[in-house]
Amino acid sequence: MTLDFTSHPTELVKGGEVPTNAKVTIKDLRVAIPDYCFQPSYRLSFWYLFRDLVVATSTAAIAYFYIPLVESPLLRYAAWSIYGAIQGLTFTGLWVLGHECGHSAFSPSNALNDTLGWLLHSFLLTPYFSWQSSHRRHHIYANHLVKDHNYVPLPKYKYAAALSVNIDRLEEMTEDSPVYTLLRIVMQQLFGFPWYLMANITASQGALNGNQSGVPFGNSHFSPVSRLFRPEEAHLILLSDIGIGLVLYGLWHTSQILDSSMIALMYFQPYLWVNHWIVAITYLHHTHPDVPKYEPEAWTFLKGALATVDRDLGWAGKHMLHNIAEFHVIHHLFSRIPQYHAEEATKAIMPLLGASYHADKKRNFWKCMWEAFTKCQYVVPDDEGRKQEERTMIYKGGPSPAPEFWMSQKGWKARNHEADICFTWVEYEAIASGHWLWHGFRHWQTNGENIDRHVKRSTREDLEVRKLSGLSRISSFKARVVYT
């Protein structure tokens, strides 16, 4: 079965209530928003697309015909740098419109949305259908420490292991030097997004469709057999690759006509800016020292969606980036609201959200980036004494671990399918890679269902039963089936 792109996430997972107002559910928030905010307009959407395309082509034409005429090397360098920054914003705006298409927020036609989204994202070397699939799951499981796809932090013990220090000494460690922190930020901003597409870094183990692949790029957005996707999605992943391949061929062919340095300046320089803006915006949406993450037992859709932060990029954010930074909370609650209705929809629900609405718009965006990079390195429970279903996970600061080049085991145990299994008597050994070594069944059930069917389904997914060490014969036992 392919991924459900049409249902609201609360139809698929537990919706929950607003954390600071238990009487408010997703239905109450929906009622508070005017109906027309959910209706994409062909006229408005195509106006923004036409405007961005005109700005992009005009900027490119001016750069191509006039910058080479500048005699001073210093001034010519400055002119190309200004071009890259401006065109980078324009290209990012086009990427955001492709993002709108991926959520069916650009127009009422899904066929038109996917066609335009594929064209726009392919032009910017983003595999449209691959990204659409993983991004949909990010929206369903936002800030879920096991299943989210983006910016999943390490638990304390994994963070200590990454730094090769004793866990009890973490509080004594100081932050990295400013120079090293700056270098790490630059690395993240320039290469974070393409490397995420290639290796699925920052995601958690439960984001995969099965166990993590040991093959290079086996968890990639570009592979039709990637562990990120179901087999039924393979043709869409291949179509995404074809789109990028056509763009790369077009760039190569153009470089045979023009000087290759011109292609680097006119296309790849703005492309680096696109990578920067995508990472900067999404990182600060989901990383803030005062905004929590959630373990599976505590997570609900509303808790996760509301653990995002609205930011402010000033004039550029509003007019060139289509408010993607400014109104992201509403986007996580209702991703099919078009960008031109996001502000009005946000204002409509703010009274219901109260303190559960998070915005950080008065501080400098770049200072916030520095703060997030230094103060948000790993998470710990807000109260160790509370039950897991009642607690939140809060950020702690410290030095940066080594860069993540491949998808790593973050230490969060995935629980994609759970079932309490009650045995009246059983002797067991262990399991590995889906091979069950059971002995002595007499009676078993799982929530009233015949466990035999569940076990057969589960073994195909390489499940594991966690046993209590030292016990092999037990008269009454409850085990939990989890993905590993």
DSSP secondary-structure letter at 467?
P
Structure-token pair, residue 366: 């770049």
Domain boundaries, the chain: 9-396, 420-483
pLDDT given for residue 466 in this prediction: 34
Structure-token pair, residue 60: 């490119």
Q: Residue 394: name the closest of 168, 155, 146 by CA.
A: 155
Burial category of 64 from C-beta neighbours within 10 Å (exposed 0-12, middle 13-18, buried 19 and up): middle
Q: Residue 333: name the closest of 312, 320, 349 by CA.
A: 349
SS3 category, 175: coil
Phi, psi (deg, nearest 5) at residue 363: -95, 160
Q: How many Cβ atoms sit within 10 Å of the Cβ of residue 319? A: 13
The residues facing 423 across adjacent strands are 444, 477
Residue with tokens 């409509």: 348
Element (H, E) at 281: helix 269-286
**How many angstroms from the chain centroid is the CA of residue 19?**
22
Structure-token pair, residue 478: 């409850």
Residue-wise pLDDT for 132-184, tens only, equals: 999 999 999 999 999 999 999 999 988 888 888 888 788 778 788 899 999 99
Distance of alpha carbon 146 from alpha carbon 207, whole angstroms = 7
Low-confidence ranges of the chain (pLDDT < 70): 1-3, 408-484
SS3 category, 157: helix
Distance of alpha carbon 169 from alpha carbon 123, whole angstroms = 48
The strands making up 477-483's β-sheet, listed across from edge to edge, are 444-446, 420-423, 477-483, 463-465
Distance of alpha carbon 431 from alpha carbon 437, whole angstroms = 6
pLDDT given for residue 164 in this prediction: 86
Strands 378-381 and 154-155: parallel
Q: Residue 142: name the closest of 291, 36, 341, 259 by CA.
A: 291
Contact indicator for 209, 229 with CB cutoff of 8 Å: yes
pLDDT given for residue 408 in this prediction: 65
SS3 category, 431: strand
DSSP letters, 368-410, are: HHHHHHHH-SEEEES-TTS-GGG--EEEE--PPPSP--S----
Structure-token pair, residue 9: 């996430």
Secondary structure E strands in 167-254: none
72 CB contacts (<8 Å, ≥6 apart)? none
pLDDT given for residue 2 in this prediction: 53
Distance of alpha carbon 23 from alpha carbon 17, whole angstroms = 7
Rg (the chain; Cα; Å): 24
pTM of the model: 0.83
Q: How many Cβ atoms sit within 10 Å of the Cβ of residue 163? A: 20
pLDDT given for residue 166 in this prediction: 86
pLDDT given for residue 447 in this prediction: 35
